[in-house]
Structure 1
Amino acid sequence: MLMTSTTPGPLAEPPQQGTLLLLVRHGETPTTGTVLPGRAPGLHLSDRGRAQAERVAERLSGLPVDALYSSPLERACETAEPTAARTGLAVKYDDGLLECDLGGWTGSAIADLAALPEWQTVQHRPSQFRFPDGESFPEMQTRIVGALEALCTAHAGGVVVCFSHADPIKAAVAHALGTPLDLFQRLVISPGSVSAISFVEGQDPAVHMVNSTSEPFSGLRAS
């Protein structure tokens, strides 16, 4: 009988486990859609906003969440509370998730701002705009992308829920999609919505969903 011997080849490396980040916009407030509050303190969720926060917690209940992070502003923290209660996890505050610093525009009515010539720059060429005595859109994008990258490193392979604000989330999603910042205003991020991005080391981010307000997330996987 002819005997042959084989040398086993190298074992295939298991696929890398990705990190899943869920970006939640805070729920509605009494001024949503009429005022740009920026970082002004003291703005709380409306009754509808609290219901949206509860709905987020329900939708996330099927996921093995590892950590919760929030912008320090009240409306974001209050949105995180029902999810913290359901998961038993403490909410950690991260300044990287803060709303854009609107400087002199803080607290202004949107109708008044829309009449300014600068509003067209905000809408169509945001990469060229800095809020008076505040932050520029590129600085905001760099800030939140850096914060999310740090969270991926801290919770590699896990599921992290981040409670933030519309423009920072839009900027983060645009970056993950490779969309130029000047087009990021085309994205819609509604109150109480969830957007999902996964990160695997050495690969481009994958955007799983944007502005989701209905379906549960039990089937989401990072890789």
Structure 2
Amino acid sequence: MLMTAATPPAGPQGTLLLLVRHGETPTTGRVLPGRAPGLHLSERGRAQAERVAERLAGLAVDAVYSSPLERTCETAEPTAKSAGLEVREEAGLIECDFGEWTGAALTDLAGLPEWQTVQHNPSAFRFPNGESFTQMQARIVRALEVLGTAHAGGVVVCFSHADPIKAAVAHALGTPLDLFQRIVISPGSVSAISYSDGQAPAVLTVNSTSEPLSGLRA
């Protein structure tokens, strides 16, 4: 875990956005699934989804949003049920469009010369017939801004994917996109960003996978 939960800044409560990576699937860590439909959570992934809901107990959640893909919607369902809310699909939270690399094995991709660019200079890379990392970052940052404005002062849980969450966290930290691969976002993990008017975002926790999260709100 990169960072542990911190006490929110003093003063009026800002808008708390919780970014949750979907739980594990049968291909996690082996394949680049991208936006291909039909990929569901594994048994371990379903357990991770239930654990997220348990860890969020005690927080007054105002809304639950999810990437439209099955694995994220399934991860969001226990949290939404616990909060008495519906899962709302938000296209801005979707996985990066990997284009021609969609469905490729990670071991095969690691042997390509372009893989070094993906790892060390991602701001210069666009997936063949797909999305660039800069486009992905701009897209999710904009989506979070819209959701934060729609629920100003509230708590919003957003279920997304590893690379978009890493890009959003990097943006909030002021970290260059070319360094965003240093951020680890594990399946079922929660990262928290607080937004207040006139202030820079406050990153409260990154890649949190175990402790209760009610302390994110004083």
Q: Same-fold call, TM > 0.5?
A: yes
1:17 is displaced (CA, Å) by 2.9
| TM-score when normalising by structure 2 | 0.94
One-letter amino acid of the counterpart of residue 83, structure 2 = T
Q: How does 1:116-195 map to 2 (within 5 A)?
A: 116-195=112-191
Q: Does 1:48 align with 2:49?
A: no
Q: Secondary structure at the match of 1:77?
A: helix
Judge conservation of contact 2:35–2:96 (CA < 8 Å) in 1: yes
1:85 is displaced (CA, Å) by 1.2
Distance 1:15 1:118 in 2: 46
Q: Which runs of 4+ in 1 moved over 6 A?
A: none
- State how many pairs are aligned: 209
Distance 2:66 2:50 in 1: 16
Q: Give the structure 1 partner of residue 61 of structure 2.
A: 65
1:221 is displaced (CA, Å) by 2.5
Q: Give the structure 2 partner of residue 210 of structure 1.
A: 206
Unmatched segments (≥5 aa) in structure 1: 1-13
Unmatched segments (≥5 aa) in structure 2: 1-9
Q: Which has the higher contact order (CA 8 A, sep 6+)?
A: 2
Identity %: 80
One-letter amino acid of the counterpart of residue 98, structure 1 = I
Q: Give the structure 1 partner of residue 7 of structure 2.
A: none
Q: Secondary structure at the match of 1:92?
A: strand
Q: Give the structure 2 partner of residue 101 of structure 1.
A: 97
1:219 is displaced (CA, Å) by 1.1
Q: Larger Rg: 1 or 2?
A: 1
Q: Give the structure 1 partner of residue 18 of structure 2.
A: 22
Distance 1:148 1:86 in 2: 22
1:15 is displaced (CA, Å) by 4.2
